[in-house]
Amino acid sequence: MSANAVKSVVAIRHVAFEDLGIFEPILEAQDYRIRYLDAGRLDPAALEVLDVDSPELMVVLGAPVGANDEALYPFLAAELAAIRRRLESGRPLLGICLGAQLIARALGGRVFPMAEKEIGFGDVSLTRDGQASVLGHLDNPDTVLHWHGDMFETPPGAVRLAYSYPCAHQAFALGETVLGLQFHLEVDPERIEQWLIGHAAELSAAGLDPVEIREQAQRFGPTLKARGQQVFREWLAGAEASLGKGEEAE
């Protein structure tokens, strides 16, 4: 593929404001055509026949539903099957929060409830493998945005990259082309108000103060945004290079 060729990314989105965030301008600058698929607006049958082989990149975004809740939300079963097909293709796949949990399940890992939810800005630490990975652009530890009540188990064959004290599995990689992040590097801190509004009931139930999270976004956001974009830019370059080698070998 030539440097100026238009590439495509399909992003499975579950909640309107949980999108590609700060990753989107990087993709646009690198001539990616972004296509969002809103899972809640699709019949599960549409996910069952989704073309997951053609796009150069597939991203599965977050949602306030559980990765094991397909009995309550039937689209999850079809989404899990689409992820399995994507994994079989060997092409780049990024999962964030629910997306990472679904990838972990597709690879044979468990997803289970934590003792308590992890919501707001807090520390994440890197394993030795994490320090040598694209996540090495983060400090160790660093302050990131968490928003989850479940945790994935690092799946068989993958490498654990990060952890926090409430959550032992925060990130994993499978080769150069698959990355799962429990925390939200993609969130634009300037749009945190959308998260505070959209998750108002969850914040209230957890006894968390939106004023504090808003202030944390202002304090940590600019640095986190720069580091998050560095992480994504390097991962994308590595995934593209790995994909290119594979196609040349064929």
Q: Which domain holds residue 85?
A: 7-249
CATH code: domain of residue 168: 3.40.50.880
65-81 pLDDT, tens digit each: 999 999 999 999 999 99
Give percent of the chain with pLDDT exceeding 70.
96
- Cα–Cα distance for residue pair 80/85, rounded to 1 Å: 9
16-59 pLDDT, tens digit each: 999 999 999 999 999 999 999 999 888 877 787 889 999 999 99
What's the rounded mean pLDDT across residues 199-207?
96
Residue 74 in domain: yes
Band of residue 4 on the pLDDT scale cut at 50, 70, 90? low
Identify the H or E element spanning 44. helix 44-48
- Predicted local distance difference test score (pLDDT) of residue 1: 47
At 6, is the secondary structure helix, strand, or coil? coil
Residues 250, 99, 122, CA angle at the centre, nearest 5°? Answer: 125
Residue 48 in domain: yes
Residue 2 in domain: no
What is the residue-averaged pLDDT of the chain?
Answer: 94
- Predicted local distance difference test score (pLDDT) of residue 75: 93
> Residue 161: pLDDT above 80?
yes
Residue 88 in domain: yes
Residue 1 in domain: no
Q: Provide the domain count of the chain.
A: 1
> Residue 98: pLDDT above 80?
yes
- Predicted local distance difference test score (pLDDT) of residue 6: 85
